[in-house]
Amino acid sequence: MHPAIKTFLYGLSVFVIYAIFVLILRHVINHISTNYEYFGLFSKKDILLGLALSILLTFSHERKKKLK
């Protein structure tokens, strides 16, 4: 598999895990808000935070791979 595709899939999986974690936490604490903009589940802040987290973790992962 091409290294760029592996990197993209790693970042995507980090974002998906973050999204699942957010949904579980909202369900557990029964936080119901009316400002969800995307699919009725996520706010704009959630999406931006998830993207930032996935970019930072992917960048860190790639740097660790290059050091080995």
What pLDDT is stored for residue 58 in this prediction? 94
Amino acid at 46: D
Is the overall model pTM greater than 0.85, yes or no? no
What pLDDT is stored for residue 40 in this prediction? 65
Could you tell me the residue range of the domain that residue 45 belongs to?
3-67
Residue 53 makes CB contacts below 8 A (sequence gap 6+) with 14, 15, 18
Number of compact structural domains in the chain: 1
CB atoms under 10 Å from CB of 20, counted, come to 10
Using the structure block, give the residue that is written with the tokens 């699942």: 20
- One digit per residue, pLDDT tens: the chain, 68 residues? 888 899 999 999 999 999 999 888 887 887 666 566 666 677 788 889 999 999 999 999 999 888 87
